């Protein structure tokens, strides 16, 4: 059988998805099947002239919880009237915030989370060194992506993940006005990684991102040609506009009605398949099929962290840059790049640079070693650089 064929690609695609789902089901059974999502907090029952103790009994709140909520000094405070601690609305909001934070804390696996972050740092550091030494070709890239999704998705689960740090923080605050500090710490860590080296956490550590990336690359030859159909690059003005609009709608719906519109179609649920549901299964199937033809569709079109990370990426210390003294304007890097970002970096004549996931495809195909991933500052190409001696049909814009 030929090295590349539509049949082989289709079979590999099906086997990959089947393996991820079946192994995730097994992993969840080993971990205990915990959903790792806080339960919805109900509005407490408050009656006129109720004491703190009565309030606790009616709402099934033990005395230690009541002590924290109302800052009780002694046991006798349990017999105080509830209205001594504020209006029913104030008390209800205080209780909801407290119970929401307790539910968030109780939903997390506090053994798995630090292990996961430790392995993230080890894996990302190792991958960075390998990429810098040009040890990652197309085949090895696929292996690294598979190891990443297997380790951080299948084995260690869907939570935490970069998207959840923003999505769940907005939902929690919009519905309860509560802030869960551990989630903000995780978000800060992810954004620091973006600041240090582009969207490196998205490229090699995000469970959903690496799965989309691997699917895209199994439909590609070593020469960056599609095996099934045609792989297209959506204009950044389109993808980023959709991403801005999607985050705006999500936030508006959360604050207006308390509904998390991402939750039913959350792609990270592939690692928690028992919670997918019909809408989740349909949307996930469509996303994975689309990933064969569009590079990281969820990341570019819908992911809240993708948008925030892109903004932080503008200040990243380590970035892809071009040495125009050795560059021959062959444009192979931009052609091989799975998105439109390398064309924007190469020309440096566009107002915005799209997301760069540091896949290193551009460096692998550059015939003159003119592309680096370093702290080197990006420079502008000389005037008329792409019209003299260029082998492609690039013209000055």
**Residue 307 in tokens:** 């948008």
**Residue 28 in tokens:** 């969840």
In this predicted structure, what is the pLDDT of residue 346? Answer: 92
240 with 354: CB under 8 angstroms? yes
In this predicted structure, what is the pLDDT of residue 74? Answer: 87
336 with 365: CB under 8 angstroms? yes
pLDDT tens digits for range 32-71: 765 566 667 778 888 878 888 888 888 888 888 888 888 8
In this predicted structure, what is the pLDDT of residue 390? Answer: 47
In this predicted structure, what is the pLDDT of residue 165? Answer: 96
pTM: predicted TM-score of the whole model, two decimal places: 0.89
CATH of domain 318-397: 3.30.70.20
166 with 308: CB under 8 angstroms? yes
Extents of the domains making up the chain: 6-33+110-311, 52-107, 318-397
In this predicted structure, what is the pLDDT of residue 397? Answer: 34
In this predicted structure, what is the pLDDT of residue 35? Answer: 59
Which residues, 6+ apart, have CB-to-CB distance to 129 below 8 Å?
none
Of 13, 299, 46, which Cα lies nearest the Cα of 161?
A: 299
In this predicted structure, what is the pLDDT of residue 187? Answer: 97
151 with 123: CB under 8 angstroms? yes
**Residue 74 in tokens:** 């002694």
SS3 content of the chain, % helix, strand, coil (to 5): 60, 5, 35
- For residue 294, list its beta bridge partners: 232
Cis peptide before 348 (omega within 30 of 0): no
Rg over CA atoms, the chain: 25
Write down the mean pLDDT value for the chain. Answer: 89
Separation CA 196–CA 12 (nearest Å):
35
- Residue numbers of the chain with a pLDDT score lower than 50: 389-397
Provide long-range contacts, Cβ within 8 A and 24+ apart, for 379-388: 379/321, 379/322, 379/324, 379/348, 380/348, 380/349, 381/322, 381/324, 381/327, 381/346, 381/347, 381/348, 381/349, 382/324, 385/324, 385/329, 386/329, 386/331, 386/347
**Residue 331 in tokens:** 């444009």
pLDDT tens digits for range 245-286: 999 999 999 999 999 999 999 999 999 999 998 999 999 999
**Residue 144 in tokens:** 């690294």
């Amino acid at each position: 059988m030929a090295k590349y064929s539509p049949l082989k690609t289709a079979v590999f695609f099906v086997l990959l998805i089947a393996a991820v789902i079946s192994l995730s089901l097994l992993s969840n059974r080993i971990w205990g099947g915990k959903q790792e999502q806080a339960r919805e907090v109900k509005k407490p029952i408050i009656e006129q002239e109720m004491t703190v103790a009565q309030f606790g009994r009616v709402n099934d709140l033990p005395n230690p919880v009541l002590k924290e909520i109302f800052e009780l000094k002694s046991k006798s405070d349990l017999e105080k009237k509830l209205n001594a601690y504020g209006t029913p609305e104030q008390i209800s909001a205080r209780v909801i915030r407290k119970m929401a934070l307790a539910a968030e804390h109780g939903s997390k696996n506090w053994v798995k989370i630090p292990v996961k972050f430790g392995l993230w740092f080890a894996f990302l550091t190792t991958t960075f060194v390998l990429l810098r030494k040009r040890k990652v070709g197309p085949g090895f890239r696929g292996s690294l992506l598979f190891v990443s999704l297997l380790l951080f998705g299948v084995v260690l689960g869907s939570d935490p993940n970069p998207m959840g740090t923003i999505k769940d923080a907005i939902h929690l605050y919009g519905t309860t006005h509560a802030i869960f500090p551990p989630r903000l710490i995780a978000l800060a860590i992810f954004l620091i990684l973006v600041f240090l080296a582009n969207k490196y956490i998205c490229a090699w550590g995000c469970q959903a991102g690496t799965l989309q990336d691997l699917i895209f690359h199994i439909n590609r030859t070593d020469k960056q040609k599609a095996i099934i159909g045609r792989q297209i690059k959506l204009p950044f003005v389109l993808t980023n506009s959709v991403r801005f609009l999607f985050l705006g709608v999500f936030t508006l719906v959360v604050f207006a009605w308390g509904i998390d519109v991402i939750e039913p179609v959350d792609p990270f649920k592939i690692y928690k398949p028992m919670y997918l549901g019909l809408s989740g299964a349909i949307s996930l199937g469509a996303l994975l099929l689309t990933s064969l033809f569009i590079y990281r569709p969820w990341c570019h079109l819908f992911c809240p962290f993708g948008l925030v990370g892109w903004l932080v990426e503008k200040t990243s210390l380590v970035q892809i840059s071009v040495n125009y003294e050795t560059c021959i304007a062959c444009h192979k890097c931009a052609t091989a790049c799975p998105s439109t970002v390398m064309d924007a970096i190469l020309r440096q004549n566009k107002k915005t640079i799209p997301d760069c996931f540091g896949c290193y495809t551009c460096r692998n195909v550059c015939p003159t070693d003119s592309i680096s991933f370093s702290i080197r500052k990006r420079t502008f190409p000389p005037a008329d650089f792409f019209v003299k001696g260029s082998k492609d049909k690039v013209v000055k814009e």
